[in-house]
A and B are shown apart, each in its own frame.
Chain A
Amino acid sequence: MNLRLLRQTLRWNRIRLLAVLVAAFGWGLLIPIVYSQFSEAFRDLVESGIIPENLMNFGSGSLFSLPGALTLGLQHPLAIAFFGIFAVGSTTGAIAGEREKGTLEVLLARPISRVTLYITLAVAILILLTLVMIALLGGQVAGIAIQGLTDELEVGAMPLVLANGLLLWGAFAAFGLAASVSFDRHAPALGLSMAFLLVNYFLEILGSLWTDVAWSQEYSLFHHFQPGEILEGNADPIDFLILGVAMLVPVVYALIVFPRRDLAAPA
């Protein structure tokens, strides 16, 4: 790993990181408040039959329990956007984007191997994702404390939630980097990575809203991110294993393909 490159990569992301951290913390803070203030009102709505009960199950989350609400907050499109900025946007731009701009040429003219470059970028992305996850979970913990809900879940299990979340977003980031090393232009890498993310998300949400195709959730990486289960003391090691493998496969692919690729002159 190259520390100078790592520092510079983080520095280049600092402004959007700051914006995302503030937004993620605020969003995390809001979830326990929404749960505390509106959970009963939503339950009344569902029981009145105005809203179908299925619509209250979004992904693996639910508004009727604190762990379910926290899961909902972590699987909400807003949270996906926070993480996606780095797991998809930054990863695909890191190599394919630099290659398209021509700056990868200047970088690789230095005594840096492609493996070192890949590992450095992967570590930088992992640091960014960790910070976003900490901000979001930190916001949730703060919200729980403010609302006095600490007795409703095991806050001490948060590090496991963090690990589970990092494996999920690490898998998407690894896919993004694998796409990034495979293309000479940013757009195809971005498109493919975005499609991968959206298909996974679609399968998870579809299965949660439509019971006839509930099986589709099993094929989504999001379904193996289960903060609610973890916070209720029901962490499943298989979820961690599946996400770990999903992260490892693109990493191995990239480490094989990238050093062997020809990098022709940028167009």
Chain B
Amino acid sequence: MQSEPRPPAISTDRLTKHYGPVRALEELTLDVNHGEIFGFLGPNGAGKSTLIRTLLGFLHPTAGSAQVLGLDIVADTVEVRRRTGYLPGGIALYDSLSGEAALDYLSDLQGAKPVRRDELCSGCQMPASVLRRKVRDYSRGMRQKIGVIQALQHDPELAILDEPTEGLDPLMQQAFYRLMEELRTAGRTIFFSSHVLSEVERICDRVAIIRAGHLMALQDVDELLARRKRHIQLRWRGAAPDLSGVPGLADVKVEGDRISATLLGEVAPFVRAVASPALVDLTIEPARLEDAFLEYYAEDEPAEQVRQ
């Protein structure tokens, strides 16, 4: 007997959100698969938080539709929130409560046991002594950690995190990345927005790039990187080699014994072409998501964008 295919964790179909004349989201269509870490990239004001808030029922779509875990975001919004964990951007907590009381309160309201809390508190370095302190005494980073814990403590099928590493120190960011990878291993789905390209590149399986409410790209991170140009620098003894036949090589500049170029596509043909005793030094910079991102944002803005 064949079971029915599982719907995507998140599926939007021409989802549109306008605030009066402001077009915050414009016919956004994307699917987020179960068990993947999905990065949602864009600068401030691109529409990242608008999409998240629409998925969770804080905003009502102007047009289009969306489903989260197979549930309609308008008709089943309460059930959507029961099965997800959400970290708002710049989270605010109840200052008069201790960290522990805040987590207990939010867990009770969630109606689910905080089965992952101990593990998360340990991973986020929030011992009991810290959790007993009032939230008002917490630093920004500590509040963010409580925010992450409250979003994930009930082990939701889907976590929606709005700029989760904001305010975390580098060590905690590393701990957060490990946590995300553990959740992925456990089959959970993570959808998170960010404008920190390095973290998206590091942990995401797929990435969507949004610009002024328009979806500009939706790809595997690996594919996206494979399509990016690598910067190459080499030092050569004697006459410069003939690199004209190397596929994808461009912008070749020769300055004395130094040669610089860009390479799009596979590296192997290039390496074969320069494999010679005359090669003194070779540097191939890894393709960076940042380049892809900047490429999408370097283009002129579409005329119909943002405001009419």
Asked if B173 is at the interface (CB within 8 A of a chain A CB), the reply is: no
Number of interface residues of A (CB under 8 A): 23
- Determine the residue in chain B with the shortest Cβ distance to A108: B58
Residue in A5, A108, A109, A265 with the greatest tally of chain B CB atoms within 10 Å: A109
* A residues in contact with B57, CB < 8 Å: 108
Inter-chain contacts of A262 with B (CB < 8 A): 19, 58-60
Q: Are B49 and A111 in contact (CB under 8 A)?
A: no
The verdict on A107 contacting B53 (CB below 8 Å), with A102-B88, A102-B91, A263-B59 known, is no
- A180-220 residues with Cβ-Cβ distance < 8 A to B are none
Among B59, B79, B88, B96, the residue within 8 A (CB) of A109 is: B88
Q: Is the Cβ of B92 less than 8 Å from the Cβ of A265?
A: no
Nearest CB of A to B167, in Å: 14
Interchain nearest-CB distance for A264 vs B (Å): 7
Closest chain A residue to B96 by CB distance? A12
Say whether A54 faces chain B, with CB atoms less than 8 Å apart.
no
Which residue, A5, A106, A108, A262, has most C-beta atoms of chain B within 10 A? A106
Whether A103 contacts B93 by the Cβ 8 Å rule is yes
Contact call B106/A110, Cβ cutoff below 8 A: yes
A2 at the interface (CB under 8 A from B): yes
Residue of chain A at shortest CB distance from B110: A110
Residues of B within 8 A of A102 (CB): 88, 90-92
Which residue from B58, B108, B110 sits with its C-beta under 8 Å from A105?
A: B58
Contacts of A5 in B (CB 8 A): 109
> Does B191 have its Cβ within 8 Å of any Cβ on chain A?
no
A8: Cβ under 8 A from any B Cβ: yes
- Which residue from chain A places its CB closest to the CB of B83 in the assembled complex? A111
A55→B85 CA distance, assembly (Å): 62
B273 within 8 A of A: no
Q: Once the chains are docked, how many angstroms separate the CA of A153 from the CA of B77?
A: 55
In B199-229, which residues have CB < 8 Å from any A CB?
A: none
Q: In the complex, A264→B17 CA distance in Å?
A: 11
B245: CB under 8 A from chain A?
no
Cα A265 to Cα B90 with chains together (Å): 10
Give chain A residues whose Cβ lies under 8 Å from the Cβ of B59.
Answer: 262-264
Contact B94 A103 (CB under 8 A): yes
Kindly state whether residue A113 has any CB partner on chain B within 8 Å: yes
Given A103-B94, A106-B150, residue A265 in contact with residue B49 (CB < 8 A):
yes
Are A111 and B92 touching (Cβ within 8 A)? no
Closest residue on chain A to residue B53 by CB atoms: A265
Residues of A within 8 A of B63 (CB): none
Closest CB in chain B relative to A15 CB, distance in Å:
10
Give A2's nearest chain B residue, CB to CB.
B109
Instruction: Find the A residue at minimum CB distance from B90.
Output: A102
Residue of A103, A110, A263 contacting most chain B CB atoms (<10 Å): A110
A16 to chain B, nearest CB (A): 13
Residues on A with C-beta less than 8 A from B106 are 106, 110
Max count, chain A CB within 10 A of own CB: residue among B49, B108, B109: B109
B-contact bits for A12-31, CB 8 A (1 contact / 0 none): 10000000000000000000
Q: Smallest Cβ distance from B66 to chain A, in angstroms?
A: 15
9 closest Cβ pairs, A-B complex: A102-B92, A111-B82, A110-B109, A109-B86, A263-B58, A105-B88, A4-B108, A262-B59, A111-B81
Given contact pairs A262-B58, A265-B89, a sample of 8 additional A-B residue pairs in the complex whose CB atoms are under 8 Å apart: A12-B96, A105-B91, A106-B88, A109-B86, A111-B109, A112-B109, A264-B53, A264-B58
